[in-house]
Amino acid sequence: MPNNQFKRGELYSFITGKASTAIARRLQKKFNSAALNLTIEQWSVLYHLWKQDGISQQELCNATFRDKPSITRLVDNLEKLDLVKRIASKEDRRINMIFLTPRAQQLQDQSMGLATETLNEALKTVPEEQIEICKSVLQIVYDNLK
Amino acid sequence: MPNNQFKRGELYSFITGKASTAIARRLQKKFNSAALNLTIEQWSVLYHLWKQDGISQQELCNATFRDKPSITRLVDNLEKLDLVKRIASKEDRRINMIFLTPRAQQLQDQSMGLATETLNEALKTVPEEQIEICKSVLQIVYDNLK
DNA sequence: TTTGAATAGTTGCTTAACTAACTATATGCC
DNA sequence: GGCATATAGTTAGTTAAGCAACTATTCAAA
């Protein structure tokens, strides 16, 4: 029998992302308690810049699964907070390269620590192999809809 | 070894809910194509009223995992669209009971069909038992953080 | 019975997402 | 070279989330 019917509750939870929003809210609370003055969305941009500094806004769009206007405004706000700087590319003047400021570099260890802590709390009672299955299912869902 | 470390990619995906946002976006596109003129968030409120009509805004908060201001504004917009009506409770005048209009009742079959269709596309290549494990992991995550 | 706490809902403010329309630069083809 | 097209980014408008502060009503305890 194919998966052509869902009970109402599971359908709703899959679509609304109950679990991931709970994780994001918890992490945001930790940021606030630590006076990090950073939204989860802003953090998600810094996250990719910590991996590779000096990438374009378009690359940030791809990495964070956001559209261009969303990244424009997140970079606007991160610039206001003195966490990143736009530098026009010399090879292609359409492109803004986004660079971390020293201030942003200082935030990496603390915020990544809080993120890991949050995930540990979220998954503390879940066996490793079930986490792996869950991860793979979510990846397949994403690929199926991409 | 406890789950005290995560690879960067999986950490990010768990927190940002890549899969559930992909599902929500796909469903929103189907709503738009069908000229349903309904946001996913508005649909998520109607979803619970179709299950049980005439519940309070507070009950909608609990059911949809939203805070009170969010529900106030969603109900505002649903009222403007002539999809729900606020009726003050006679037993407790603090409470608004929210009722579906005939217009909203007509939307149920079509929109729920599109939601089921979306989930089938998302999960079409995933074995049933892995879906069950994924569901249970996400439920545990939610419970751990609640 | 009155006063203080709890509950239901609203309003204001900031941040963010999506769409559509826009500007500027680069590329490719004739 | 010149023109069409594609790409990078911005702006405007609507919807929504989270927080804090607020009003109105109910309830409970002195």
pLDDT confidence band for A17 (50 / 70 / 90): confident
* Average pLDDT for A113-133: 92
pLDDT tens per residue across span A86-104: 999 999 999 999 999 999 9
* B31 lies in the same domain as B48: no
List of chain B residues whose C-beta atoms are within 8 Å of the C-beta of residue A12? 44, 47
pLDDT tens per residue across span B59-79: 999 999 999 999 999 999 999
In-domain check, residue B115: no
**CB pair distance less than 8 Å for A19 and B144:** no
* B16 lies in the same domain as B54: no
User: Å between A92 CA and D4 C1'?
Assistant: 20
Phi, psi of A66 (to 5 degrees): -115, 160
Nearest CA of chain B to the CA of A93: how many Å?
A: 31
Query: For position B90, which CATH number holds?
Result: 1.10.10.10
Domain that holds residue A31: 7-36
pLDDT confidence band for B137 (50 / 70 / 90): very high
Smallest CA-to-CA distance from A25 within B142, B64, B140 is with B142
pLDDT tens per residue across span A137-146: 999 999 999 8
Give me the percent of chain A exceeding a pLDDT of 90: 85
What is the ipTM score, two decimals? 0.88
In-domain check, residue A121: no
pLDDT given at position B4: 47
**Cβ atoms A83, A43 nearer than 8 A:** no
DSSP for chain A?
A: --S----HHHHHHHHHTHHHHHHHHHHHHHHHHTT----HHHHHHHHHHHHSSSEEHHHHHHHHT--HHHHHHHHHHHHHTTSEEEEE-SS-TTPEEEEE-HHHHHHHHHHHHHHHHHHHHHHTTS-HHHHHHHHHHHHHHHHHH-
The pLDDT mean for chain A works out to 90
In-domain check, residue A61: yes
Could you give the number of structural domains in chain A? 2
* B22 lies in the same domain as B60: no
* A21 lies in the same domain as A80: no
Whether pLDDT at B2 is above 90: no
pTM to 2 decimal places: 0.90
* B56 lies in the same domain as B99: yes
In-domain check, residue B119: no
**CB pair distance less than 8 Å for B119 and A2:** no
Q: Which nucleotides in chain C have some atom under 7 angstroms from a protein Cβ?
A: 7-13, 15-21, 24-27
pLDDT confidence band for B9 (50 / 70 / 90): low
Closest in B26, B51, B128 to A3, CB measured: B128
Q: Which nucleotides in chain D have some atom under 7 angstroms from a protein Cβ?
A: 7-13, 15-21, 24-27
In-domain check, residue B114: no
